[in-house]
Structure 1
Amino acid sequence: MKLRTLFSLCLGGIALTALAQGGYQDGVDYYNADRFEKARTILQKTLNDASTNKAVSYFYLGSLDLREGNIQGAQTNFNNGIAADSDYGYNYVGLGEIALKNGNKKEAEGQFKAAINTNKKDAALVAAVARAYANVDPVLYAKEIEKNIEKGMKMSKNKEPQIYVLQGDLAKNEDKGLAAGYYEQAIIYEEESGNVNPEAYVKYSNLYNKVNSDFAIGKLVELNEKLPTSALAQSELAEKYYDNNQLTRAAEQYGKYMKNPNHFQGDEQRYSGLLYFGKKYPESLEVAQQILTKDPNNEYMQRMVMLNKTALGDYTGADEAAKKLFSHEGAKFTATDYITYADVLIHTGKPEEAVAAYETAYNMNPEKNKQILADISELYNKLENDAKSVEYMQRYVDTGDVTLQDYFILSNRYKNLGLTLPEGSPERVEAANNGIKYINLALESAANKGPLFRNKATLLMVRDGANNTPELIETYQAMIAAYDEDPENINKYAEAYKTAYTRMGSYYMGLEDKDKAREYFQKVLEIDPDYAPVKKVLSEL
């Protein structure tokens, strides 16, 4: 939520009671709720509609010009409003505010008097005069503000909602509890007259959004029940759900809001994003494509097409969308963009380009994106480029934020690398020793040590060749001891047991301990009675 100055808070509350929503009235409501950009869009879009009260629309367009410092534009709009309906007093209030800004208080007072004379019983007009003083300088004109507030209260017997909204706006920065009380009174007195004041609901909700989001949302649910066709009510509730990470409800509410003709493209874009994160990929894609038909260079929607088509497995389509996305010069891309693109490139047979995309994502924030190093390692592993696979997995492990599984994976990468190197070469020995190093690190804390010892045994054989060294036998003994902790493992890891017992039998044969050798060979046949190599050896023994 953007912080607002006292000036902008005071500017945002002039309104007639919302009798019916839709058309230009949505622009009025957005203005009164401090949603100025949306207000201008709707007011300009609906200015020439047959149902538009042009005097009202010109007043709000002039007020928007005033807050943006466009005095000439404001004056033109207020005069146009008077020409459209000279009995609508608010445009005189606008001209009075201009006079105040120009330092001509006497002229301003004349304009304010002309405004009041259009309807001497309208306390809301008096509140508008008080707000005009506050918009220009709430300190310099404090007495005038208070005087008009008292006058409006007296005229309305303390029941004019716009006076309470103004007081809430003036109090909000200093005393949120007091401001909430004023907004609540505005709501109550508006509804006593049979109407609804959407700005009071929205401003009341905004006060509580950060401290009691359930209450804030509840007020907007109430407003939607009372004004079910109000664009302001619908959009504010959708945004509150979104702000408070209630994304499923946000998506549902945005879906309702999309049916309102006064919704905005930015809202459509957020809706597409919410549908995507809710894994409603076809629906999200449909919204994105609809936006692109009227805004073909929309960077955000090209991103959503890429994301959705990737999720749906349409990698060719995702590739096309990615190329359009990345063609935007000076655009700000995210690591997710490049990670997704890497996935697309992998599936479209462009692994080297995928690595480049991964690298770009990683370099955008190495500390946050270090997992990408492991992803690149996995990609090279699938490509059977063992040297690169080791390089990137080693870089990942060197970041320090790793698990036992990462050590296990790195040891496997070194094993695969070792197997590609000449037997007995220093490079092969080094690769195997590095693999053993990381297996040992994993073994320090692993609960299930059997597979780790099995991997270590394989690494020892990569390093030492066919030799049945004492270290290899000790490793197999440790593997068997670990597996034996669960009786089911004899069936689950039968091949590992067979390999170990065969190696152990051969080891003791080399030591000429025939009884020990026979013992281990017999264990092999208990697992696989028809295992011919061992049957032959046993017959000779």
Structure 2
Amino acid sequence: MKMTKKAITLSLGLVVMGSASFAQSLADAKKAIDAEQYQKATTMLKALVKSQASKGENYFSLGDVYLRRDYLDSARAAFTQGITADPKNALNYVGLGQADLISNNAASAKTNFDKAIEVASRKDFTPYLYIGKAYLSTDKPDFAAALPNLQKAEELDANDKEPETFVALGDYYALQKKNSEALQNYMRALSINSALYRSTVQIGRMYKESRAFTDAEAELKPVVAADPNYGPAYRELAELYMQWANQEPQNFDAKAADALTNYKKYLDLTDKSYDSRLRYAQFLFYARDFKGLEQETSELATINPNDPKNLVVLRLRGYSAYENKNYPQSLQYMKDFFAKVKDTSRIQAADYLYLGRAQLQAQDSSALKNVIKSVEMDSTNVEALADIAKSYFEAKDYPKAISTYEIVNRINPAGKGSLYNYYYYGTASYFYYGKAYNAKLNPSKDILVKADSAFAKLAQLSPSTIDAYLWRARINYFKDSDTDPQGLAVPFYQQYADSASVYPAEKQTAAIKKNMVEAYNSIAGFAFSKNDKVKAKLFWDKALAIDPNSANALEGIKSLTAAPARAAGKK
């Protein structure tokens, strides 16, 4: 069968290495596979295929390594050669069946699996074991097909000689989050072979996925203590510490550093393959080491430029360039990424987020649309949308600030940053209405109603934020009638003044004192408009006690002896 160019290149690279430096033992090769030292295992198995050409299991193990490395054509070739060399060995039929499953050809897989059982001894449990494992190995495991085969393997292995059967059963249950059943089977495997580190690592992974981080660490650390060269344990420790870091923000830096340290050890002990380095690059992103990510992805981009997985590299280059403030380069990478993605289901929320952020830096009008897409896919990106809303506010583009904050507040009604979001939404609405009012454009008071609701929500979430009462007063002043005001602002001005007056003297800043003068003058002014001179004088005196030079208060006191006041229009 024709091999892929990728597989041919690999083969040529390995031939020159020879095999003298590796023990010619299938057991050693399997140990290398378990330790995820796939290049080493491939070289050993190539040598075994030459020296023991009639032994079918050598071909099967070689094909298995190719499958693990996504070299499907090479795997099929190895299995086919194995069948020719040893037609009675069932495992190569299983290998072909697994390749069929990867190719989404379930019917052909079933044919090959049936052939494996046909040629095997009736008491041989291994075909059933590997058929069960094959059904679990795909992106969408076929649990219904896997279980009967694993159970048959356990039944035929009456003396429980093969711990791998119980590891596979453990995987079967763990993949379905049935942790109790999974743990029982992993422990049975360890009771047969206590040095079966993969079983312990799987237990640690299971605890990690249940967020029992301390228990996971307690399982994994003894593995690396017992065998410092067992790479998969370091990988799982890295995954554990990265997840732990995200769950404990206060310890993020230390845990993220532990994650990177362990993943580097994993890389040093394994093949430093393209796939493992790609995963390391993702770790660098999660650990926020953007300088390191930029360097790693720059190297990865040259290794397999035509590999479909290089899209992930391109994505990460866009992310790291943005975080390193290289905005034009980030925008170019993200544009290239979107141009090359054929399967839109592979586009993530973060892709739209970084594209939108880079476009925002370039003042591209598409920025808002893409950030909104990212938020619709993942609401945790709402902070980025709030940043855009704030940029509109600072540019005094109040209509865009209002419409953007409306989306933000709908998605994030009480989460991180929500207090600021309500504040800026309310003030943007106030300024927008005031500008339109002064221009005599007759703006809708619905704008004020929504602004008032925003500050009411702010006061509800944070009663100590007394500025919410001040802004409610200002908004309700505009909501009031121009010709016959009802004093809608007065209760809120009073609430602000009462709240501020109980502050200790050292906390009564110049801004707070200025706002208290505004509140007292406004309360006095409304009282005077209703001919309540006693109340008016009381509050003007309070304003003058804070600011003896308050022009409004001085003028108000003077007006107490003048003719009766009329209701004033808006200013």
TM-score scaled to structure 2, two decimals?
0.64
Kept in 1, the 8 Å contact 2:186–2:199? The answer is no
Q: 2:351 aligns with which of 333, 337, 341?
A: 337
Structure 2 residue 470 is matched with structure 1 residue 454: yes
Native 8 Å contact 1:183 1:203 kept in 2: yes
Check if 1:358 corresponds to 2:371: yes
Sequence identity (%): 14
Q: Residues 533 and 266 of structure 1: is their aligned pair in 2 closer, same or farther, counting only changes over 3 Å? A: same
Which letter does structure 2 place at the counterpart of 1:326? F
8 Å contact from structure 1 (residues 98, 108) kept in 2: no
Identify if the C-alpha distance between structure 1 residues 505 and 28 changes in structure 2 by more than 3 Å, giving closer, same or farther: same
Aligned in 2, Cα 1:304/1:245: closer, same or farther, shift over 3 Å?
same
522 and 333 in structure 1: CA distance in 2 versus 1, 3 angstrom threshold: same
Q: CA deviation at 1:455?
A: 0.4
Tell me the residue number matched to 2:493.
476
Partner of 1:29 in structure 2?
31
Q: Equivalent residue for 2:228?
A: 228
Query: How has the CA–CA distance of structure 1 residues 444 and 96 changed in structure 2, closer, same or farther, with 3 Å as cutoff?
Result: closer
Whether 2:285 is the aligned partner of 1:276: answer yes
How far 1:270 moved relative to its partner? 2.0
Deviation (angstroms), 1:78: 8.1
1:414 aligns with one of 429, 448, 460: 429
Q: 1:186 maps to which residue?
A: 193
What corresponds to 2:11 in structure 1? Answer: none
* Residue of structure 2 in register with 1:256 after alignment: 265
Structure-2 separation of matches of 1:206 and 1:171: 12
Matches within 5 A, 1:303-314: 303-314=315-326
The separation in 2 between residues aligned to 1:504 and 1:538, in whole angstroms, is 13
Q: How far off is 1:30 after superposition?
A: 5.1
Matches within 5 A, 1:109-258: 131=126, 163-165=161-163, 168=166, 177=184, 180-187=187-194, 200-207=196-203, 209-210=205-206, 217-218=217-218, 220-232=220-232, 234-235=234-235, 237-238=237-238, 248=256, 249-258=258-267
User: CA 1:311–1:175 in structure 2 vs 1: closer, same or farther (change >3 Å)?
Assistant: closer
In the TM superposition, what whole-angstrom CA distance separates every residue of 1:245-284 from its partner, at most 9, and x where no partner exists?
7863332211112223613222222222222222222223
Q: Distance in 2 between matches of 1:104 and 1:304?
A: 43
Task: Go from structure 1 to structure 2 and tell me whether the alpha carbon gap of 1:142 and 1:450 turns closer, same or farther (over 3 Å shift).
Answer: closer
How far 1:31 sits from its partner (Å)?
3.8
Find the aligned partners of 1:66 and 1:108 in 2 and give their Cα distance.
Answer: 19
Offset at residue 371 of structure 1 (A): 6.7
Report how far residue 456 of structure 1 moved.
Answer: 1.8
Single out whichever of 175-184 and 487-496 deviates more from structure 2: 175-184
**Do the aligned partners of 1:231 and 1:262 also contact (CA within 8 Å) in 2?**
no
1:38-80 Cα distance to aligned partner (Å, 9 max, x none): 74x554466678x999659984443454898978743635888
When residues 54 and 240 of structure 1 are mapped into structure 2, their CA distance, relative to the original with a 3 A threshold, is farther
Structure 2 CA distance for partners of 1:301 and 1:58, relative to 1, 3 Å: farther
Q: 1:53 to 1:456 in 2, by over 3 A?
A: same
The aligned residue for residue 503 of structure 2 is 486
Greater relative contact order structure (CA < 8 Å, 6+ sep) = 1
More moved, 277-286 vs 516-525: 516-525
* RMSD after superposition: 5.0
Q: CA deviation at 1:295?
A: 3.3
CA contact (8 A) 2:167 2:186 kept: yes
The one of 282, 289, 296 aligned to 1:287: 296
Q: Shift in Å at residue 499 of structure 1? A: 1.6
Which amino acid is 1:457 matched to? A
Q: Give the corresponding residue for 2:6.
A: none
Q: 1:55 to 1:517 in 2, by over 3 A?
A: same
Task: Say whether the 8 Å CA contact 2:163–2:189 is kept in structure 1.
Answer: yes
Distance (whole Å) between structure 2 residues aligned to residue 23 and residue 477 of structure 1:
88
Tell whether the 8 Å contact from 1:62 to 1:74 is kept in structure 2 after alignment.
yes
| Alignment CA distance shift 1:105-1:48 (3 Å) | closer
- What residue identity is the alignment partner of 1:456? R
Instruction: Measure the CA separation in 1 of the matches of 2:341 and 2:521.
Output: 64
| Residues 26 and 388 of structure 1, relative CA distance in 2, 3 Å threshold | farther
2-side partners of 1:516 and 1:414: how far apart? 32
Please tell me the residue identity of whatever aligns with 2:295: E
Q: CA deviation at 1:322?
A: 1.8
Secondary structure of the 1:419 match is helix
Contact 1:171 1:178 in 2 (8 A): yes
Task: Give the drift of 1:422.
Answer: 3.5
- Is the CA contact 2:201–2:233 (under 8 Å) kept in the aligned structure 1? no
C-alpha displacement at 1:355, in angstroms?
A: 0.8
Alpha carbons of structure 1 residues 23 and 389: separation in structure 2 relative to 1, 3 Å: farther
Task: Report the equivalent of 1:7.
Answer: none
Q: 2 CA distance for matches of 1:369 and 1:170?
A: 39
Residues 117 and 127 of structure 2 are in contact (CA less than 8 Å); yes or no, is this contact kept in structure 1? no
Q: Secondary structure at the match of 1:421?
A: helix
Give the C-alpha shift of residue 400 in structure 1.
8.8
Q: CA 1:532–1:348 in structure 2 vs 1: closer, same or farther (change >3 Å)?
A: same
Q: Is the 8 A contact 1:21 1:227 kept in 2?
A: no
The C-alpha deviation readout for 1:278-315, integer Å capped at 9, x for no partner, is 22222232222221232346222222222223333332
Q: Which residue of 2 aligns with 1:160?
A: none
1:186 counterpart letter in structure 2: N
Cα distance, 1:446 vs structure 2? 5.1
CA distance in 1, matches of 2:24, 2:503: 71
Contact 1:28–1:60 under 8 Å retained in 2: no
- For residues 458 and 361 of structure 1, the distance between their equivalents in structure 2, rounded to whole angstroms, comes to 36
CA contact (8 A) 2:459 2:468 kept: yes
Cα pair distance change 1:25/1:341, threshold 3 Å: farther
1:323/1:175 CA distance change after superposition, 3 Å: closer
Superposed displacement of residue 496, structure 1: 0.4
Matched-pair contact (CA < 8 Å) for 1:93–1:132: no
Which has more radius of gyration?
1
Q: Which amino acid aligns with 2:349?
A: A
Amino acid aligned to 2:430: K
Q: 2:350 & 2:493 partners in 1: Cα distance?
A: 44
CA separation of 1:95/1:506 partners in 2, compared to 1, >3 Å: closer, same or farther? closer
Would the alpha carbon gap of residues 142 and 437 (structure 1) be closer, same or farther in structure 2, given more than 3 Å must change?
A: closer
Q: Give the match's secondary structure for 1:259.
A: helix
Q: How far apart, in 2, do the equivalents of 1:107 and 1:464 lie?
A: 91
Quick one: which amino acid aligns to residue 468 of structure 2? L
1:8-62 C-alpha deviation (Å, 9 max, x unpaired): xxxxxxxxxxx989999885325457x7xx74x554466678x999659984443
Report the Cα distance in structure 1 between the residues aligned to 2:76 and 2:312, rounded to whole angstroms: 35
Secondary structure of the corresponding residue to residue 437 of structure 2: coil
TM-score (norm: length of structure 1): 0.67
Distance 2:488 2:446 in 1: 17
Given that 1:165 and 1:186 are in contact with CA atoms closer than 8 Å, whether structure 2 keeps it comes out as: yes
Aligned partners of 1:96, 1:473: CA distance in 2, in Å? 86
